[in-house]
Chains A and B, each alone.
Chain A
Amino acid sequence: MAAAGSGWAAVCEKFRTARTLSAVESRKDPETEPYRSKYSARALLQEVKQLLSAAEEGGEARLLAVRRAVLEYELGVNHTDTEELSAGEEHLQRCTQLLEPHRLSPDCVSLYIQAQNNLGILWSERDEIKTAQTYLESAEALYNQYMKEDGNPPLDPSEHFMAEEEKLTDQERSKRFEKAYTHTLYYLAQVYQHLEMIEKAAQYCHTTLKRQLEYCGYYPVEWALNAATLSQYYLSKQCFMESRHCLAAASVIFSQAGQVPSAEDNETEQDQQDLRQRKAEIARCWIKYCLNLLQSARKLLEDNVGELDPDRQLELKAQRKKEEDEKEKGRKKAVLFGTSDICDSVLAMEEKVSSVYPLDFQEAREIFLVGQNYVQEAKEFFQVDGYVTDHIEIVQDHSALFKVLAFFEEDYERRCKMHKRRIDMLEPIYADLNPQYYLLISRQLQFELADTYYEMMDLKVAIGNRLEELDSHTIKKINSLAQLAIKYYELFLDSLRNPDKVFPEQLEEDVLRPAMVAKFHIARLYGKLITSDSKKQLENMQTSLEYYTFLVDYCEKYPDAVRAVETELELSREMVGLLPTRMERLRAKLCPFI
């Protein structure tokens, strides 16, 4: 018995060495012999296997089977690691076969799940994602069944080759078991992504993040970035409550990263800078959150000419009241991050901004202000000197925040001032930007500036229409805004010209719509210019007609373009029909004798 005891110690020792070789030593293997340690580990495992079968007669059958399953598992992983998939599969299959009858018992369940995880990986390497999925889903089911029926911390596979006194604590067992299951979910997230089951993939990513938090298996910065990125997924699905939850959690966990001194403690300046950048990235996700919430609310509230619809507003307010009672229920359905402590901080963070559609200016303004604060925070890192693209993107978001806020503002004068703020932030950047390196952004800015001036002009016209008579100041204002809008639309259209300054015969698909809209708006703007000089007025009408005609002719020549500009085309056709008559009438007035 004593001999057997010392023999057993030697077996355990061999097993332990094999594991160290495989997990630790192998990482130091030279490039020329990448699997050296893996092969040595494999040899040791084979030896252990032989020693085990030699001892077979005396031992208890079940115990032996489990130990052999552990070895098959290790050999299976070893073979897949060294790109011998078929051999790996055989070992892993043998492992699951040995464990099959006992897979729900505490000494087998963890090993069984890990074997299935590895079979999942193995099949994915053969590009058979569906097969991988069946293994991983059955691992998931087994975990759930075990937790329901037993739930005690099960043995870790390594314990089967440990002396009694070395065995793990329940806490450690539970930690390792949960980790294996987290891996199952993490692999499933990838499987669903590959199978394009996007919603399910997102759900599994979410749950994986949640479990990382619960079992402390995460790096705060990385975790926060992942959560912030996930929030952007929810944003694209218009799930604002989930999106906000992810962002709040990201902010909370990120703030911990700053407090915990890093392992090496001698943080370089680069690390500090990285940290500041990450913080700014999370701020940018928040900006997008505020922007999306406001824009979605605008979509709900606007009438067919893009103004706030008061009936719709009342309707939605009533509907919200009804829903408020059910809100609590909805909350519980979502996956929540964190245990009590973290959860409290996350909830506190969430309270700073709403996740329901704002329905009036006051509500919209609150969200706007939160967004604007994050704009400042993001800009602190992404300064124009060094981060041109990022900086401008943030400024564009800021402008978009003002634009959507203006929608909720009833007072036209104040609304106009908001648009002026947009001009003030965009114009200087545009003036400095070199289109040779930033063509796309430069075009976006041209277009946005043009649009903003256009919008301001429209507002001034609306204000003027309320007056009994247009005063010369207002006329001057309207004309100058229209001229500026025309200037920027023309700059945009010029940017489409080729090196020889020729406008393209056929527009590329990605600029088709903006180019056509620019033409259309210029046509309208010439129609809006106010002048008492009839000759000048005739000239403006002529120019307007030319631009409308461009749209009509272009769509005739390239019928594919019609889809992109249906409304604009219809109106253009109408104007092409009307304008000549109007011009004729004006001409007649000018020279009554002809």
Chain B
Amino acid sequence: YSFSVEGDAIKVYVRVRPPSEGTALTDGDQGLCLSVLSSNTIRLHSKPEPKIFTFDYVANMETTQESVFSSVAKNIVESCMNGYNGTIFAYGQTGSGKTFTMMGPSDSDNFTHSLRGVIPRSFEYLFFLIEREKEKAGSAKSFLCKCSFIEIYNEQIFDLLDSASAGLFLREHIKKGVFVDGAVEQVLSSAAEAYQVLTMGWRNRRVASTSMNRESSRSHAVFTITVESMEKNNEIVNIRSSLLNLVDLAGSERQKDTHTEGLRLKEAGNINRSLSCLGQVITALVDVGNGKQRHICYRDSKLTFLLRDSLGGNAKTCIIANVHPGSRCFGETLSTLNFAQRAKLIKNKVRELFNV
């Protein structure tokens, strides 16, 4: 009997950012390409027929950072404390408010800023829960939090906490799952410290993108917190460990590129290159076959491999799709909503979705 298990469907949240000040003045209300109908439906003013999308949660322009955090991340942080792995993806085109949603206003490194985003709030909440647990259990329970921060660019892995290193590899451990071999792990003792490490890595990402000619909109960044708890019950020591992954996906404008490539032919070019894409064609042919007894030589992408567990397993996963409501962004918004819709519906094929 062959069977596959892909776990709970991914929860999908959409957030609509307010139009930037300049555009609001010139475009007026007619300049918006969508309207939020309820807390889980959105209407896109497409022609000839408007399109209705339904998600787990839709945050309109007025929704506060606090309420986004409560509906999206709170639950995931809680289950992380209960030993489940959790992953939050941020998705959207450049300028759709991804960074604002996840980090907060870009001009402040201030962890206590009233507009801080999902990530700092998750840190606070995580450490709040840890403190509460510790108080409840006294000396019987102890916690160890560690974090790592990596970037995937061009199928290569870079350590954002150690800018000197380059080209790390993914490996698997029978007890610990997938990990980045050699990635720096920093011990965390408070939410503020976590935020500090995150901003430091974020800065490294920017530096790398200018000095090493990497385009940050084409890279995925993965910040991982490992929460380990140790509980002594008489003589028995109970150790639990879970991961919280915060993922900033490459800009969706790149996603669109690869999407359209789905239909057009791959060119061989005139240069003396072999037809390297033939492999993709053949892989697609094999994929169609339903038999389980086959092996495909070409691997998952690095990102899907790293987050294997989050994309179908016993992990809690959500995507925050950020969209810009301006009519100029219509195409981008449509493709983001389509992506989010697919992520919601095709739970068995989620891996494909991220194989960028």
Contacts and interface: CB of A to CB of B under 8 A. Distances in A.
B5 A443 contact: yes
B24 interface: no
Interface string B253-270: 000000000011111101
Interface of B is mostly: loop
Nearest to B2: A444
A387 B172 contact: yes
A443 B3 CA distance: 9
A233 B286 contact: yes
Contact of B293 (A23, A235, A434, A435): A235
Interface in B281-296: 281-286, 288-291, 293-296
Given A186-B268, A285-B295, A513 B1 contact: yes
A473 to B, nearest CB: 32
A100 B84 CA distance: 68
B234 interface: no
A513 B3 contact: yes
B275 interface: yes
Given A205-B282, A232-B295, A437-B177, A190 B265 contact: yes
Contacts of B47: none
Contacts of B208: none
A386 B290 CA distance: 29
A289 B309 CA distance: 29
B176 interface: yes
B331 interface: no
Contacts of B263: 124, 127, 129, 194
Interface stretch (A219-227, A524-532, A543-551): A219-227
Given A440-B4, A513-B3, A226 B278 contact: yes
Nearest to A227: B282
B7 interface: yes
B174 A510 contact: no
Nearest to A496: B5
A229 B286 contact: yes
A153 interface: no
B192 interface: no
Interface residues of B, number: 60
Contacts of B275: 182-183, 186, 208, 212, 217
B323 to A, nearest CB: 24
Q: Considering residues B1, B172, B176, B313, which has the most beta carbons from chain A within 10 angstroms of its beta carbon?
A: B172
Contacts of A517: 1
A42 to B, nearest CB: 16
Interface in B114-156: none
Interface in A8-23: 23
A168 B198 CA distance: 60
Interface residues of A, number: 79
B267 A233 contact: no
A476 to B, nearest CB: 29
B289 A233 contact: yes
Contacts of B290: 236
B202 to A, nearest CB: 22
Interface stretch (A60-68, A276-284, A407-415, A416-424): A276-284
A260 to B, nearest CB: 14
B270 A23 contact: yes
Nearest to A22: B270
A31 B308 CA distance: 33
B282 A281 contact: no
18 contacts: A187-B265, A193-B281, A193-B284, A201-B285, A205-B282, A217-B272, A222-B276, A225-B297, A225-B298, A229-B296, A232-B294, A233-B282, A236-B288, A292-B294, A400-B293, A434-B176, A438-B174, A499-B79
Given A125-B264, A229-B283, 16 more contacts: A121-B264, A124-B265, A127-B263, A187-B265, A190-B281, A191-B265, A201-B281, A201-B285, A205-B285, A222-B279, A226-B279, A232-B286, A232-B295, A233-B282, A438-B174, A444-B3
Interface of A: 23, 31, 120-121, 124-125, 127, 129, 132, 182-183, 186-187, 189-191, 193-194, 198, 201-202, 205, 208-209, 212, 217-219, 222-223, 225-226, 228-230, 232-233, 235-237, 270, 278, 281-282, 284-285, 287-288, 291-292, 295, 384-389, 400, 429, 432-440, 443-444, 447, 451, 499, 508, 510-511, 513-514, 517
